[in-house]
Structures are given as C-alpha cells and as structure tokens.
Structure 1
Amino acid sequence: MAAVDCRGRVADRAVLTALSWTPGSRLDMREAHGLLLIRRDGHGMFKVTKEGHLRLPATVRHRCRLVAGDRVLLVTDPERDLLIVHPPAALDDLLAHRHTEVLDGDPA
C-alpha cells in the first residue's frame, strides 16, 4: 500500500525495484475495470521520475477517481513486467463482492 501525493506521485520504490524499473523507464498506463495497468514500454508516454517515483498523471488519476492522500494497493507481476494499481474504489468493489460470497449473499 502506498499513498498518492498532491502531484500524483507514488513513492514506493520497492515495487519499482522488484520490476527493475529505473528513473527514466518509459511506461504505458491503461485503466481496465477500475484498475490501472502499468507496463514498461520503450515508446510509452510516461516515465519513472528522476527521483525513482511512479507519477500518475492527472488524466489517469481522474479516470481512476484518485485524489491526493488516497492509498492504493500496488501489485507487481515481474514475469509480465506489470504493475497493477488498485484504487480505493476498486478495492471496495472487490471486498464487497468477496464479503457477499463469504456471507452467503447476506451483505451484512
């Protein structure tokens, strides 16, 4: 879990290190089903900051309904060179669905 700051930066270097993403690495970012999928892409429009942070541009933050201070779940898939960002709304949906399953349809 990591917080998004007022400039859209996510300062969790551990996930970037796990993916071997270094400052200047070019990235492709796409929203899919409420999640943000980020891959290294030599032609990507975005890149890891010179300080080694992931920066989520305003357009991406708006699409995922992220605001400064939101905490996101970061999941890496090194084999796919992929970072999946789970915004709070996506986590709420996942947990609500799972809780309903566990409680046999009773959302209490």
Structure 2
Amino acid sequence: MTEHPTTTATATFGIGEVVRHKLFPFRGVIFDVDPEFANSEEWWEAIPEPVRPRKDQPFYHLLAENDESAYVAYVSQQNLIREDGGEEVGHPAIPQMFGGFEDGRYILRPEVRN
C-alpha cells in the first residue's frame, strides 16, 4: 500500500532533542516543528533534486552546528537521526531557548513555549 501524497506523517522527534543530519556533517537541537513543509518554493528548489526531500513530512527547525559555524537549519524528517551520544550542542542561542540539558535532551524554557 502506498502513502497518499497529502498524508502528513507524525513527527518522530520533539523539541529539545539532539539530532544529526544523515547526509551532511552537522548536528543540532530542535526548537520548532512544522507538520509539513512550510518554507519557500525557492528554498525547496535550491536543494539538488537527487536529495530533495518530500514535502509531506515534518520539517524541523534546528539550532545547528558543524566544525566551522553555528546556524539555523530547516531539515526534513527523512534526513535526520536521533543522536544518542549525550553531548551538548554548542550553538550560542541555546541558553536563550533552553534552560537545561538532561538525559541527552534540552529543556525548553517556560517563557519560550507557545
């Protein structure tokens, strides 16, 4: 049975979880989740077609880091894996959004919650 193209998948990851990209060398902490693609068409079309993700899945906003910099990333669920190493992410915006790091997961500050 094939999935209907308008079916939205359930989010696998939650806010505060540390994840790693499957294809590119970066990791980050999730600070927001879109139930399906909610970025611009230009952004989506800029992704090379062989690795362009489906739109009918959750997309995650990450405070991301690689060996060279810290930045915000927008990544499809299919391209993320949970990182179980328990190592903190070194993004400078983390203290503004999260109040602590327990059991490999960041705790969202109460004043940041919607």
- The bucket for the TM-score relative to the shorter chain is under 0.3
- TM-score under structure 2 length normalisation: 0.27
Which protein is richer in helix relative to its size? 1
- TM-score under structure 1 length normalisation: 0.28
